[in-house]
Structure 1
Amino acid sequence: MTQTTASRPTRERDGSASSVTLIRKTVGDFTVGETLGEGSYSTVSLVTDKHPPHRSYALKMLDKDHIKREKKTKYVLIERDTLKTLDGHPGIVRLYWTFQDQRSLYYVLELAKNGELLKWIKKFGSFHLPSARFYAAQILSAVEHMHSKGVIHRDLKPENILLDDKMRVKITDFGTAKLQTTAAKEEEEDPSKPRSRSFVGTPEYVSPEILSEKKESSPSSDYWGFGCILFQILAGRPPFQARTEYLMFQKIINLEYEFPLGFPPDAKDLVEKLLVSSRPPLSPRRPR
């Protein structure tokens, strides 16, 4: 990553379909407020543009030294490129600008004022069926848009689904996303190069195919995550829980989960159709 104090030009729409203005930004253009979240090598803060109309954003600050030391450059670039690819869908958090200085990389993102979906699940315990439909439809629309653009999120979970000021879905955190077109191009350019297959995702929401020997994700990984989220919205807990990760993975592989009493029949039918295994069996079955 080249160190520079120059900002990177990006497009800012003024509401007109034909009018596009190139605007350069630096961290000095924003007033930094409260911390919204922290990761291993990044911090997300509430910021307000110093210039009219003084809009608020979420500023993600990424530590360059940590990124280089932990060899995370690939994931930083994946997130940037994926957000560019998905720009325009109302269910995907929008990336407005990126720039950098000697110490940090900066992503200026759309602000989702009402935070994580998980916070609201914990607050209410579970959602009524109309609310579940409201959020399921928005999540599914965003997932279908991702897949139409060749993007697999690979870590869909309530923590990565934010809600804006109108309580509408904004999917975020594309650092572990997979761009299928990029992966295919790399393989075409160098077929001998071993493909990277490492564990990606969060244990409670990981799909069986990720737990296979190939550890290879596909769009069905996101539909699995969607099924887990829908279950959690209505049940108040993830479908797969256990004392240890190993036991949890065994439940996932064997599709061992139970619906609580009163789970809506139509939602149950949908969850059962989503939580299916595309993972090859551990050993061939004997013919009868």
Structure 2
Amino acid sequence: GQPVGGNVVNSESVTTTPARRTTKDFIFGHVIGEGSFSTVYLTKDIHSAKEYAIKVCEKRHIMREKKSEYVKREKDVLNILSSAQTPFFVKLYCTFQDAERLYFVLSYAKNGELLQYINKLGNFDISCTRFYAGEIILALEHLHRLGIIHRDLKPENILLDDKMHILITDFGSAKIVNSSVTQTKSVTTPETNGEVSSSEQEQQQRPTRRRNSFVGTAQYVSPELLTDKTAHFASDLWALGCIIYQMVSGLPPFRARTEYAIFQKIIKLEYEFPEGFDSDAQDLVQKLLVVNASERLGAQDTNGYPSVKNHPMFNGIDFENI
């Protein structure tokens, strides 16, 4: 722990910061990320000299873009993850606000986005792909045990810490399936198979929601989100399939000039493997990119994702000590 007293961010807990923080507790450096209504700054705590990423949200923009639900959900999910002390996720240390803005004090991912490494290298070799796919599947085990579906998993939302381990971020589109889910609860319940539909209650809460709206990013969105507006835990497994494909080949599997054309390809499962694509990785991708969510590899697992972790692509990976 850290000394109590003074405005020190308490590393043990999200809720018990000794005193309300303000912008005066931090030195703000350069911008490290931009969203539609937020800007992320690299900052230094003036008391401990620790570095944090602070996400600053403009209240005006949030109200204008009707994004308050998005901001609240991100905070709720980060609170759940931070109290569960799970590895592989950005941690929320505290939040504060002033008249114009909301501030989220988050862990600083020193090495930026996974995407920039894929782009810089062109693609990853199989051992590097295996390592990052392994970390992502462990992260999804944690997330889904806590009853959370990410719904917007992509290489831009997978950050890397100072030791090049993953820190998944951006939970504004996430779905909390059951806020009272305990660690031991199975990932999918037999009755619903982990499916969550846009219930009437949710429609009432968000009357402005357009029928053709979807959450997520075009190239990684799963067919079920496009066709029947439902999200499953297996929607994140679909995204994992897209990310593995992109790590091996350098590009996402479903590509077209317009979002509409991308959606058509996704629904029809129209993609191909380039020459020289690793055969084990190809087999895994084919087992994850299945239109019927319940038939994806791992979708029937009830405690973590052993069927994915036992796939030949992960031969030699020590999941206990990754």
TM-score using structure 1 length? 0.85
Q: Distance in 2 between matches of 1:215 and 1:279?
A: 13
CA 275–30 in structure 1, closer or farther in 2 if over 3 Å, else same: same
State whether residues 17 and 94 of structure 2, in contact with CA within 8 Å, keep that contact through their aligned partners in structure 1: no
Which is worse superposed, 72-81 or 193-202?
A: 193-202
Distance apart, 1:193 and its partner CA:
4.2
Q: Structure 1: which 5+ residue stretches go unaligned?
A: 1-7, 15-19, 281-288
1:1-288 equivalence runs, <5 A: 11-13=10-12, 22-52=18-48, 54-87=49-82, 88-181=85-178, 193=204, 198-212=213-227, 214-278=228-292
CA 177–21 in structure 1, closer or farther in 2 if over 3 Å, else same: closer
Write out the 4+ residue segments of structure 1 that deviate beyond 2 Å after TM superposition: 8-14, 20-24, 190-198
Q: Distance in 2 between matches of 1:25 and 1:36?
A: 21
State whether residues 127 and 233 of structure 1, in contact with CA within 8 Å, keep that contact through their aligned partners in structure 2: yes
CA 10–166 in structure 1, closer or farther in 2 if over 3 Å, else same: closer
Distance apart, 1:13 and its partner CA:
2.6
Q: Distance in 1 between matches of 2:170 and 2:248?
A: 24
Q: Distance in 2 between matches of 1:279 and 1:168?
A: 28
Q: Distance in 2 between matches of 1:63 and 1:157?
A: 25
Q: Structure 2: which amino acid aligns with 1:173?
A: D
* % identical aligned pairs: 53
Distance apart, 1:32 and its partner CA:
0.2
State whether residues 234 and 293 of structure 2, in contact with CA within 8 Å, keep that contact through their aligned partners in structure 1: no
CA 69–234 in structure 1, closer or farther in 2 if over 3 Å, else same: same
Q: Distance in 2 between matches of 1:272 and 1:62?
A: 39
Q: Distance in 2 between matches of 1:128 and 1:200?
A: 31
SS of equivalent to 1:250: helix
Q: Structure 2: which 5+ residue stretches go unaligned?
A: 1-6, 181-195, 295-322
State whether residues 56 and 103 of structure 2, in contact with CA within 8 Å, keep that contact through their aligned partners in structure 1: yes
Q: Structure 2: which amino acid aligns with 1:180?
A: V
Give RMSD over aligned pairs: 2.6
Instruction: Kindly tell me the number of residue pairs found equivalent between the two proteins.
Output: 264
Q: Structure 2: which amino acid aligns with 1:224?
A: W
Q: Structure 1: which amino acid aligns with 2:40?
A: V
For residue 4 of structure 1, what is the aligned residue in structure 2? none
Q: Distance in 2 between matches of 1:23 and 1:120?
A: 39
TM-score using structure 2 length? 0.76
SS of equivalent to 1:181: coil
Q: Structure 2: which amino acid aligns with 1:35?
A: V
CA 230–74 in structure 1, closer or farther in 2 if over 3 Å, else same: same
Q: Distance in 2 between matches of 1:159 and 1:34?
A: 19
Distance apart, 1:9 and its partner CA:
11
Q: Structure 2: which amino acid aligns with 1:115?
A: G
Q: Structure 1: which amino acid aligns with 2:152?
A: D
Distance apart, 1:277 and its partner CA:
0.9
